[in-house]
Chain A
Amino acid sequence: MNITRRRLLILLPAAAVAWKYVQAGTPEAAPNYKMTEHWWSMLIDIPKCIGCGSCVRACAEENDVPEGYYRTWIERYHVDDWKIERPEVESPDGGKQGFPPNEIGGKNFFVPKLCNHCADSPCTQVCPVGATFVTPDGVVLVDKSYCLGCRYCVQACPYGCRFINPKTNTAEKCTLCYHRITKGLTTACCEVCPTGARQLADLKNPKDPIHEFLRTHTVQVLKPHMATGAKVFYNGMDGSVR
């Protein structure tokens, strides 16, 4: 092929782009794990939650979550008959040690919360340096070696799922136990849940029981009006839950 000046000018940028991919290689998260074959989500069955706090303790132990900060937490709702718009919500120590007894009338129930691993996550969109992102398998992660600690993402999350780790001064959040799910395990919170109120689900796996569940139950996500594409599904959720 005769390389003219014109052809060279066309080829140079193409070669530059190609070289970048050659250098990058294709490292996979774990052997035998293909990111493109999964789309992770979680199912939370509110009528099954007993507020024991096992998930909060397990999360802290599995992920070294600093004391006083929570990647997942449990809220106890108290709704009076006439105050559905103004529920009373409490979460002492994130529900880590359970909840003190409260023998009061009205409707009382527990709501476990965690990162919703939104498909269109507001937190990743505001990151100025590309330190947080949605992986090809649908998990929102933070690259702590890239994070500046600017807190934009903490403000952007409508669910309050992020915090700044006081030791590293970088943003931190639920990783959906990415180090576990890529090894074929379930998340720490789902692993220890004694009643099965939390279940990890893979929306790309046609054999996952989540599909049957979503068909046969009335399932909601938190704050659907925010259009975040939240992937943590709540079954039996009361209208007062925020």
Chain B
Amino acid sequence: MFKDIEHLVRLAAVMAIALIAFVTLRALVVPHSFGQYGHYRGDAIAEIAARPVAFAGHDTCEACHVDVVEQKKQGKHVVVPCEACHGAQARHADDPASVKPAKLDTVVVCARCHEANSAKPKGFPQVATADHSGGLACDTCHQPHRPKIQIAAETKPATEGKK
């Protein structure tokens, strides 16, 4: 019945070569980790996770700056993380001796949170800085880590307790 099957053998050979070429090329081109977790390159996860951090985290800061932690505990700023005002400090944490954080300008930093705005929550302490201090630096009167002004007992105004 199949006496002259040479043309079929030749076709089969061509297809076999094409199949082998496809499988080989695919193995070379597709990254090995593709499909490890899904339809994507599994190694990409580790590559993204390998990025260095810029913000050290307040736990790192508090390991050394114990005095500031104590100070903050006495006031409302206890909830404010260090790097909210001081900026990214991972480089300082890695090398505290040579990388020093910049001194902050309280006129700018305090106003970011405390400048009055009708969209801010009603209970949040807000001031119109122009009226409140007239451009004077906030740390002239307030200690930023413990912002409530401590007034000696004899000069304490009568309204102090009502706030």
Binds A, one of B50-58, B66-74, B98-106, B150-158: B50-58
Q: State the A residues within 8 Å of B (CB).
A: 20-21, 23-30, 33, 35, 47-54, 58, 61-62, 76-78, 98-99, 101-104, 108-110, 130-136, 141, 143, 145-146, 175, 178-180, 182-183, 185-186, 188, 191-196
Indicate whether A27 sits within 8 Å of B46 (C-beta atoms), given known contacts A185-B53, A192-B84: yes
Per DSSP, chain B at the interface is loop
- Counting contact residues on chain B (CB < 8 A from A), the size range is 35 or more
A130 touches B88 (CB 8 A): no
Give chain B residues whose Cβ lies under 8 Å from the Cβ of A33.
49
A61 touches B42 (CB 8 A): no
Cβ distance B63 to chain A, nearest Cβ, rounded Å: 14
Q: How far is the CA of A49 from the CA of B117 in the complex (A)?
A: 12
Give chain B residues whose Cβ lies under 8 Å from the Cβ of A175.
48
Per DSSP, chain A at the interface is loop
State which of A24, A135, A188 has its C-beta within 8 Å of the C-beta of B55: A188
Q: How far is the CA of A179 from the CA of B44 in the complex (A)?
A: 12
Q: How far is the CA of A102 from the CA of B115 in the complex (A)?
A: 11
B42 touches A24 (CB 8 A): yes
A182 touches B49 (CB 8 A): yes
Cβ distance B125 to chain A, nearest Cβ, rounded Å: 10
Cβ distance B62 to chain A, nearest Cβ, rounded Å: 13
B121 touches A143 (CB 8 A): no
